[in-house]
Amino acid sequence: MDLITIFLTGLFAGALSCLAVQGGLLATTIAQRHELKLQDQTKQSGNALPILCFLIAKLIAHTILGLLLGWLGSAFQLSLTANIILQVAVGIFMLGTAFNLLQVHPIFRYFIIQPPRFLTRLVRKESKSKSVFAPALLGAFTVFIPCGATQAMMALAIASGNPLSGAAILFAFVLGTSPLFFLLGYLATRVGEGMQQKFTKVAAFALILLAMLNLNNAVALTGSKVTFESISKGFYCTVSYCESSATVANAATPDNVKIRATNEATIEFTETAYSPNVINVKAGENIKLNLVNKAGAGCVQAFTIPELSIQKVVRIGSSETINFTAPSEPTQIAFMCSMGMYRGTINVI
């Protein structure tokens, strides 16, 4: 996932879902400001300053968090199983948050992280000091109540395996969430109850969508071929003509002479893909794969073949080689990044 995509995720899904969870803290910031204004009528500054302090502190806190998570990811590579568990956990968490927003059942309240008490006390104490430090502290505080989308980005930061990439991922994401936070914070007094309820619904559905993507990635990581993409593709190819499926079907046929199978192939890593993402190899032979990472900074770096239990981390700008024996029967093997986001297929012919 490149930084622009991450920024856009923040701008839309992130802002909506995070505002639903963290908006209360922003509201507290503004409420305190109003109290101060009532006490001191001569000062007529707007809401902008405390909201900006809130947002800047939030951005800095999350960037540091990204740095730490990236460092954590570099210290030890998460195993494939750990990655699957992480993805499923994040997916379930997002669903729980969404169901809580939609008030499906009281049990989903337990999915909402309540900040530790010593921190809430500290914020309360600071907010009485009437400084800009209070909104800033509240902003930084949002680190402790990550919303669903933030958790997915945190997982991405760990998977990046690099402190700077981790920091960049969370920076881009939180920066993306900022405009809507600012706008709604600024207009807070004018946003009525009805608007807020509609808003909560949109946020909940955005979260459900993100959760589905996460769970889908987790399913892909197990090496299963039954993902949303394959189901929808299968459906599309059934009702309509589908050239790629024909090619794939042919590829699995040993008699097919049109497709050249090799026992050595090179896969280049771009920022958001493996190229080529389909390779054909000979059944039963020793296969050599040259992995060249040209521009992949995120999870693309961790090249994974779940079925063969192969995972090789190729850092940006470097190359690695993996060797394996292809199955003796024609089949298709999926390969992907450690998050199951970028995928490709090895056709064993």
Partner 1 sequence: MQTIKLNIYGMHCTSCAFNIDGELEDTEGVKESKTNYAKQQAEVTYDSKKISVDKIVSVIRKLDDKYDAEVI
Instruction: Kindly list the residues in this chain that would bind partner 1 in the complex (CB under 8 A).
Output: 20-21, 23-25, 27-28, 106, 109-110, 112-115, 117, 120, 123-124, 145
- At 52, list the tokens: 């900006």
Nearest approach, Cβ of 100 to partner 1 (angstroms)? 9
CB of 10 to partner 1, least distance (A): 20
- In angstroms, the CA 182 to CA 344 distance is 40
Min dist CB 265 to partner 1, Å, is: 51
User: What minimum distance in Å lies between the beta carbon of 125 and partner 1?
Assistant: 10
Q: In whole angstroms, give the CA distance from residue 22 to residue 124.
A: 16
CA torsion 248→340→307→320, rounded to 10°?
A: 90
CB of 66 to partner 1, least distance (A): 23
Using the minimum distance from each CB to partner 1, give the nearer residue, 27 or 187. 27
> Which residue lies nearer to partner 1 by CB, 106 or 240?
106
Considering the complex, what minimum distance in angstroms separates the CB of residue 109 from partner 1?
4
Distance CA 61, CA 184 (A): 21
For strands 274-275 and 310-313, give the pairing: unpaired
Taking each helix axis from N to C end, the angle separating 193-221 and 228-239, rounded to the nearest 10 degrees, works out to 90
Secondary structure of 182-251 in HEC code, one letter for each residue:
HHHHHCHHHCCHHHHHHHHHHHHHHHHHHHHHHHHHHHHHCCCCCCHHHHHHHHHHHHCCCHHHHHHHHH
How near is the Cβ of 180 to partner 1 at its closest, in Å? 17
Which SS3 state, helix, strand or coil, does residue 304 take? strand
Q: Please, which residue, 97 or 301, has the CB nearer to partner 1?
A: 97
Which residue number, 82 or 122, has a Cβ lying nearer to partner 1?
Answer: 122
Q: Quick one: 103 or 318, whose CB is closer to partner 1?
A: 103
The nearer residue to partner 1, 119 or 231, going by C-beta atoms, is: 119
Q: What is the DSSP string of 149-192?
A: HHHHHHHHHHHHT-HHHHHHHHHHHHHHHHHHHHHHHHTGGG--
Strand pairing of 286-293 and 264-269? parallel
Euclidean distance between CA atoms 293 and 307, whole angstroms: 22
Burial category of 100 from C-beta neighbours within 10 Å (exposed 0-12, middle 13-18, buried 19 and up): buried
Our CB check for partner 1 shows the closer of 14 and 223 to be: 14
Q: Shortest Cβ distance from residue 131 to partner 1 (Å)?
A: 17
Q: Name the DSSP letter for residue 262.
A: B
Cβ nearer to partner 1, comparing 124 with 294? 124
